[in-house]
Amino acid sequence: MRIAPGDAGPTSITGPDEVVIRVADDAAPEVRERGVTSEVLHRMGRQVDDMVAEFHELPSVGAYQVMARRYIEGRLAELAQLRGAAADGFESDLLEVFEDLTGRRHKDPLGTLATVTGRSREALDHLLEVGRQRNAR
């Protein structure tokens, strides 16, 4: 949909009054240096659109699921880039994302990770255990 200058667009569907985007306090120095990029803003725009659609109970493919999938894919890619994609650590990355989802009280973090990564719950249980063992060392 294209909105002409001065056109406020449809008034029956409203979004948030304010969205605050900032770099996390515990972000890696190189992430903090890049700051909020156009990629971050683009991703955030899609998430806000999904949440508004979900709030207004508009037909969708499951805005929360889409948002969770995008978050997991993005976070795993970010973690892989930080450690070097060829370096060992994928299991620890999975564990970090799993613990983040659990901390946010996601209904089914293991099932969501399984869907996003294309792995079975059993395979993910094994990978998470490997991650726990690596982190314990």
Q: Which amino acid is at 128?
A: L
pLDDT tens track for 64-75: 677 777 888 888
Burial of 53 (0-12, 13-18, 19+ CB in 10 A): middle
Structure tokens at 136: 């314990």
φ, ψ (nearest 5 deg) of residue 19: -130, 125
Contacts of 126 (CB under 8 A, 6+ apart): none
pLDDT tens track for 2-40: 334 444 444 455 667 777 888 888 888 988 888 888 887
Domain ranges of the chain: 61-136
pLDDT tens track for 48-97: 776 776 666 655 555 667 777 788 888 888 888 887 766 678 888 889 99
